Amino acid sequence: MKHLYLSILLIVLCLDPCAAEESAFRDISMEEVQAAFNRPTPPHPRLLMTDKQVTRIRVELKSQADTQAFYKAMLAKADDILGQSPVKRVKTGRRLLSVSRRCLDRVIHLSAAYRFTRERSYLQRAEKEMLAAAAFSDWNPSHFLDVAEMTAALAIGYDWLYDDLSKESRLSIRRAILEKGLQPSLKNKGWARGTNNWNQVCNGGITLGALAIMEDQPQLAQQMVHRAVNGVQVVMKHYEPDGAYPEGPGYWVYGTSYNVVLLAALESALGTDFNLSQAPGLSRSAAYYLHVAGPTGRYFNYPDSGSKGGFQPTVFWFASKYDQPSLAWHQHQLWKDAMAHDASALVQSRLAPLALLWCNSNQAAPKDLNWRGRGSNPVAMFRSSWTDPGAVYLAIKGGSPSVSHGHMDVGSFVLDAEGIRWVVDLGPESYHKIESRGMSLWGRSQGAERWKIFRYSNLSHSTLVVNGQHQRVNGNASIIRFSGEKSFPHVVFDMSSLYAGQLAQATRGAALLPTGQVVIQDEFKATDQAATVRWAMVTPATVSIASHDRALLKKDGKTMRLTVVTDKKIQLKTYSTAPKADYDARNPGTCLIGFELSLSPGQVARTVVLMTPSNGNTEPSLDLPSVLQWSKPQ
């Protein structure tokens, strides 16, 4: 097979023009925080959605049909909550988190419904919910996310309903926020300057509580805000330089939503977010979330993320804050689909009512088809169109298994075409299921029990396995080549450190060709020991092996052709994704397709895998040069 797209490569030899930017972060003094508090204390409600904004939204509801539909779905959900029993302090394993989240979901929907309708049944049911939570012995401070989300629930309800709550209820709820939320945060504070979503969620939830009762606890509120605005900067730095979130799209929703709520609440209550919203990494992160969703509607679900993201009102805050309507492109598509089929899909998020505050009808298709996010867990995404539901979409990651929630998935990718996800990530395991067995799920050493779980090791991901061994936990694959040019969009990762002691060198390139075909090209070199390298990808399709180097994937009446180009002896085959132990999840309807090749000591090899959708061009000949020649170094 020879001579395809060699000329393309000569066009794309360009150096990334993006220059390093000076960080926007700085130490925010207590004096600055105190100055913000010295303003006249705004009346309740002051968190996120003020009465002035409610008045504006009421006017808009009269003329905007889509917003009316959302509003009716929100009221329908509140109506459903009316008949449900209040929350009870029932833990699942070591967590009370599901109870805290249920309380927040109920309180914010009921409180919003009351503020717009003044129907007292919503007020009374929200009050009942908050008093039930306030009566808990504690909010489970040993797992502080539980405290943060419960504090957020009672803070929003207390603030939004303040004038109409009884004095006795206000006292009980305020005391609970103080004694079960704010005061425990002074003792359990490892998250305060952490590097993952705990920082954002806990600082966000506790700050909501502090701002809700700031007139009663002014010094403590200032202390909470000072800690939050400095502590949250630690994790916000991990969005830099491009906005990619190290913990993947699922935790982007969790951490970033609370980060946004923190900044928006500071703005509404104190008149300033201390300029944190201008941090370039955060301001670019909605572009990450936009690109991480494929045309099938499924997300590139690494590492502990599900593939279905659902409607996220936080994205509209970004589109409005930075005046970039295209950031909400995918959310508008979800909105349209829900309007056509089931409007209740729009109010599944516990923060859904905030969509009324942030959403607007401005729409614009994104301009960039291709996107690269550097950082501690770098990713790249490519697509052939934003408007074609059958577009080709390729997303691939580098990074390290050592990041928070990380898997041994370095080099792994997903692929959409013709409305089908052909290459999938199996997703996370059930935390509670693993922990209830007494297994350590969160270890990060090379021999940690975490890596015994099938879904977490490279054995279950669309990447390389060498000599049946795991990737190296301390390895890290950075982006060394990238181009978003439409003639040959591509990315190259140096994965050598992930296979230290197994291979002397390992490099993976991925490209979306103008024909709609996808190329995964690997180049590796053996150490002074022989090695067996397995190339494999996870697919939900039915696989037919046609020859040693060709296979046909079939799903839902569509096909995808897979061709391997290499001068080494190989045989395509399938590998089972069935559970390897009784604690492993089942993976029905999936398998791995791939091949193995043997390397003698010091031997160099290259493999090129070409995937051609059924609506793609006739399979061409292929003769790409080394991935190191695809473009200039980054």
Q: In this structure, what CATH number is given to the domain that contains residue 432?
A: 2.70.98.70
Q: What is the pLDDT of residue 290?
A: 97
Nearest Cα to Cα of residue 99 among 124, 72, 135: 135
d(CA 324, CA 282): 14
Q: What is the pLDDT of residue 65?
A: 86
Contact 369, 383 (CB under 8 A): yes
- Give the list of residues 6+ apart from residue 190 with CB closer than 8 angstroms, or none: none
Contact 307, 301 (CB under 8 A): yes
Residue 335 lies in a domain: no
Count of domains for the chain? 1
Residue 318 lies in a domain: no
Q: What is the pLDDT of residue 188?
A: 83
Residue 420 lies in a domain: yes
Contact 262, 282 (CB under 8 A): no
DSSP assigned state of 345? G
Residue 147 lies in a domain: no
Q: What is the pLDDT of residue 23?
A: 53
Element (H, E) at 53: helix 51-61
Residue 445 lies in a domain: yes
d(CA 331, CA 18): 28
Q: Which two tokens stand for residue 146?
A: 């539980």
Q: What is the pLDDT of residue 619?
A: 61
Nearest Cα to Cα of residue 222 among 152, 149, 274, 167: 274
d(CA 335, CA 344): 10
- Between helices 120-134 and 167-176, what is the axis angle to 10°? 40
Q: How many residues does the chain have?
A: 634
Residue 412 lies in a domain: yes
Cβ burial, residue 390 (10 Å; 0-12/13-18/19+): middle
Cα angle value 301/409/256 (rounded, 5°): 40
Residue 8 lies in a domain: no
Identify each DSSP E strand in 172-280 by its residue range: none
Q: What are the residue ranges in the chain where pLDDT is below 70? A: 1-24, 616-622
Q: What is the pLDDT of residue 493?
A: 98
Q: Which two tokens stand for residue 19?
A: 């220059």
Q: What is the pLDDT of residue 270?
A: 98
Residue 489 lies in a domain: yes
Give the domain range for residue 481. 369-617
- Give the list of residues 6+ apart from residue 545 with CB closer than 8 angstroms, or none: 551, 572, 573, 574
d(CA 534, CA 519): 17
